[in-house]
Structure 1
Amino acid sequence: MVAINDKKKTGGRLVAMGCTYEPWIALLEQAGWKTQCCYDLRTADAILEEYSPCVCIVDLSNNDFSLNSISQRANKTKQVKWIAIIKKEQLKIDSICQFINNFCVDFFSTPIPSSQLLDTAGHQLGMLEIKSTSLSDVSLQCEIGLYGESKSIKHLRDMVKRVAMTDVNVLLTGEQGVGKELIANTIHNLSKRRNDDITVINCSSLTDDDQRIHFLNPLYNDNSNNTITNGTVLLNGIEELSKLLQLKLLNYLQQPENEKLNEQGVFDVRVITSSSIDLEQAVKNNTFNKELYYRLNVFHVVVPTLRERGADIILLAEYYLQQFSKEYNTLAMHYSEEAKQLLLRYNWPGNVRELINQVKRVSLLNDSNEVNLEHFDLPKKTNLKQSLRTIKDEAEKDVLVTMLEAHKGQVASAAKDLGVSRATMYRLLNKHNIIPDVRYYNGGFATE
């Protein structure tokens, strides 16, 4: 099989499909390439998947393979550069030309010009390295926070791909536990600042004189090693900033780039913020600075909840199970069908963070290779019925409030519109602790 490339060497990995050991292969190996000749398509898939990114040279000159089978494999591989070897007369065959046009970066006709092949393979290796640091396949580069195939996570990947290489301010919002810090790390790792640090600051722990936020004030001078002058800063829970720190942050964001200076040089810090609340509502409640909100909300990324991600729940659960089995040297490797159904039914109020904790628990408690229902500390079917009852009660309460508002707090007319007696209406109001003395008055609400 193809040997894994040592990153300290200059060579790459190459798979030669259908090729005998020829002089050009020896030349590649002398140049530092790790090569493997593969003659069986049944093993080719595993080799290409395990060792990509790589260059694959496929010999079509002897018609040893089904061209359709090769095309299917070439279509599936995103981190493989394909080069074809053919006979000159095969250029008259439409299917050969179509394969080269659709999937190959180059082709050579026999006899093989070894030095030219070496140059081409080396250039394609360089292209793969460029691709590995670009955003062309963000799903392969990203943190686990972007792992999955649901519509919502694909949209999130697209948003991250669009904003990562810019310097605009990013506001991440979403419920607690959805992975906002993971997304911030992904944006940083895919940005031009990837070689600098990302500093995470929890705003709830900050005081007005906290030196961790000195970068907000360009006039601040600190000769210690803790000075933040570049990279990325993630302000977690931005709504927790005091009014004074909100003004400091606003002052920093308002200043021209050439004025963000101190004695040590330019402050070149990208600010990413996150929040688990509705900041727009906080602005309306006068608990968050309106101008600061609009400064931060240049590019708004909503991180979806776990319950919105459908089958991604199973993908994530399987991923973490594999990780924890290696970390803790446990036996659990897969889930029973009943366990998978439980994972899909559960509402996951704690989102990805709760899922990680559950998977860690079952990994530690399980003495077999299969995870079953009893290993989870989650509501089973009886509790699921309770959840459905809760949903029904909430819907019922919403209808009652809506009808009361429509009838300006008049219980009798609201009951008539709902088709229930006044006694039933009062029983329902008592059940949901609704006080029917709020009514419209001159276009607004008034309480008697």
Structure 2
Amino acid sequence: LDNIVGRDHRMQRVYDLVDAVADNRTTVLIVGESGTGKSMLARAIHRRSSRRNKPFVEISCGALPESLLETELFGHVKGSFTGAVADKPGRFLTADTGTIFLDEINSAPLSMQVKLLRVLQERCFEPVGATETKSVDVRTILASNVDLQTLVASGQFRQDLYYRINVVTIQLPPLRTRNGDVPMLAEHFMRQFSQEAGRKVIGFSDETMQQLIRYPWPGNVRELENVVERAVVLCRRPKIEIDDLPDALRGADMLPAPTSNTRSELLNESPMPLEKALETPERLIIEAALKRNNWNRQATAAELDINRTTLYKKMRKHGLDVGSNN
């Protein structure tokens, strides 16, 4: 997990799950928005398993048309179709004794989902055009950037396949919900790219770091990585300054920041019970989460790791508009 950075409690839960599932053949489903690090997490699980010295094979189910996806996954025999001039092993056979990572499983066509279900259940398949069955010993990790239950409900994803792959699910939180991890991630990428480029960048100015923390990161960790790489390349000073950031980032809508006098108010107020003093930061945290989720209570409760009833009570307690949305 060396390259997966974060101290947020949601990331700690991810680390705990990785440790729990790594050294067995349990099917793992990783769910998270694009750019949250699903591929990196899959590799981390493989590296921590007893299969670490065996193949790790990755394929994006959304990157290939259906006609090519089948031969990529299962291979084909010579003469099975025009252009099949030789036998070709598929990714499942290449991954034998190791791990196969099926990214964007939500994009797999329904016809392909039937074949995936069989190989996951029976650990065998036939290459395209073949009559001989191939058996494989493969640990399967899958990833989706959308909620598969929603696709099941709409008929776009097979229910039986969903139940088969939903053994252990790891939720990767979007970066905007754990912006406290941004400084650590930014410093990590800065050191990495400074070393690769032979640059002597030593850090970020305070203004720059505050901008990074308050930016909502729609592209998640991948976007932050790209922004820091660009800044390291363009930086001409010891520290990365605000003008080293892309224009789009500097002009974007920012996540709400606590009011500037919050800290001084807490320090200078007359004595009060701790429970009362803690209400101010709690209100700010809840209000910021509600705004990030467009006042959707279900999404906000999930982000804050509390149930909707608790959120509703806290909103009423702090005078937040409980009628804004669902």
Normalised TM-score (structure 2): 0.68
Distance (whole Å) between structure 1 residues aligned to residue 37 and residue 142 of structure 2: 13
Decide which of 375, 381, 384 is 2:254's aligned counterpart.
384
Would you say the 8 A contact 2:32–2:172 is kept in 1?
A: yes
Change beyond 3 A, Cα 1:385–1:162: closer
26, 30, 35: which one aligns with 1:172: 30
Unaligned runs of 5+ in 1: 1-141, 399-448
Please give the secondary structure, in 2, of the residue aligned with 1:368: coil
Distance 1:319 1:386 in 2: 25
Q: Distance in 2 between matches of 1:268 and 1:286?
A: 30
Deviation of 1:328 (Å): 1.1
Aligned-residue offset at 1:223: 6.5
8 Å CA contact 1:143, 1:182 repeated in 2: no
Aligned ranges 1:188-199 → 2 under 5 Å: 188-199=46-57
**Matched residues in 1 for 2:114 and 2:39: separation?**
24
Change (3 A) 1:200 1:247: same
| CA displacement, residues 116-166 of structure 1 (integer Å, 9 cap, x when unaligned) | xxxxxxxxxxxxxxxxxxxxxxxxxx1412x22221111110011111112
Give CA deviations for 1:62-106 in whole Å, capped at 9, x if unaligned. Answer: xxxxxxxxxxxxxxxxxxxxxxxxxxxxxxxxxxxxxxxxxxxxx
1:202 aligned partner? 60
Question: Structure 1 residues 331 and 392, CA, compared in 2 at 3 Å: closer, same or farther?
Answer: closer
Distance apart, 1:261 and its partner CA:
9.3
The 3-state SS of whatever aligns with 1:199 is strand
Higher share of residues assigned strand: 1
Q: How far 1:395 sits from its partner (Å)?
A: 4.4
Deviation at 1:327, TM superposition (A): 0.9
| Partner residue, 1:240 | 107
Amino acid at match of 1:313: V
Give the counterpart of 1:211 among 64, 71, 77: 71
Counterpart of 1:371, as a letter, is I
Offset at residue 307 of structure 1 (A): 1.9
Q: Does 1 or 2 have the higher relative contact order (CA < 8 Å, sep 6+)?
A: 2
Q: Which whole-Å CA distance do the structure 2 matches of 1:392 and 1:296 have between them? A: 31
371-380 or 297-306, which moves further after superposition? 371-380
Q: Which residue number corresponds to residue 338 of structure 1?
A: 207
* Counterpart-to-counterpart distance in 1, 2:194 and 2:36: 23
Q: Helix, strand or coil for the counterpart of 1:239?
A: helix
Q: Residues 208 and 245 of structure 1 are in contact (CA less than 8 Å); yes or no, is this contact kept in structure 2?
A: no
Verify the 8 A CA contact 1:148 1:315 in the aligned structure 2: yes
CA distance in 2, matches of 1:154, 1:161: 11
Could you tell me whether the CA contact under 8 Å between 1:346 and 1:379 is conserved in 2? yes
- TM-score norm. by structure 1 comes to 0.51
Q: Map residues 392-403 of structure 1 onto 2, 5 A cutoff.
A: 394-395=294-295
How many percent of aligned residue pairs carry the same amino acid? 31
Partner of 1:161: 19
Whether 1:361 aligns to 2:219 is: no
Contact 1:143 1:183 (C-alpha < 8 Å) held by counterparts: no
Q: Which amino acid aligns with 2:14?
A: L
Aligned-partner Cα distance in 2 for 1:268–1:383: 49
Partners of 1:392 and 1:223 lie apart in 2 by 48
Residues 1:291 and 1:215: Cα distance change in structure 2 (over 3 Å): farther
Cα 1:292–1:347 shift into 2, 3 Å: same
Structure 1 SS opposite 2:101 = strand
CA distances 1:223-259 after superposition (whole Å, capped 9, x unpaired): 759742231111110011111110000111222x5x6
Deviation at 1:308, TM superposition (A): 2.3
Give the residue type in structure 2 aligned to 1:273. L
The CA RMSD over aligned residues, in Å, is 3.2
